[in-house]
Structure 1
Amino acid sequence: MYHIVSLLNEHRKRMSIPQGIGLGIIGDELGKKVAGEEVSATRTATSTVIGTGLGAAASGALVVAGSAAGLVSAAAAAPIVVPLAAIAGITAFIKSRW
């Protein structure tokens, strides 16, 4: 069991940056729909919140799915939640400025 958990954690560490960037881009695109196409503080705030929320939701989904499948405990998967949400939020923030 320990070997499976360590392999899954390594896989998630490698995947967190690309996933976070993708979720941040999606967050900005959704932010454009909500706040408009023009660059503004409102759009930046909206995109950042949506991107961070998507990152947190995706991380939570991984934790719940892993726990439900019995492959990994929620405690072992929890460290990915904050980095993925932060990467997604930062990406959405940066992308919303252009």
Structure 2
Amino acid sequence: MEEQTRLTAWVRGRVQGVGFRWWVRSRALELGLRGSASNLTDGRVEVIAEGPRAACDDLLEMLRGGRTPGMVTGVVERWTEPRGDLHGFIER
């Protein structure tokens, strides 16, 4: 069984109002992840994803990869134990 993890990533740049959260949701669902993508009041987007470590690594690589809507200027991540309280992947 694959190691399960929880990734929280804060993405900064021009990431609000450009379809970024929808794009994150689509990629996360393709990877079989559960979680959310939420706009923060300071202009960043917070991405929370739970699932296999490899899939979370893939999502993080996509966030940093330069092929997102808008323009990502930086990503800070935190890894923690999964809580198991997420269902589906939602945009907030």
| TM-score relative to the length of structure 2 | 0.35
Q: Which one has more relative contact order, counting CA pairs under 8 Å at least 6 apart?
A: 2
Structure holding more helix per residue: 1
Larger Rg: 1
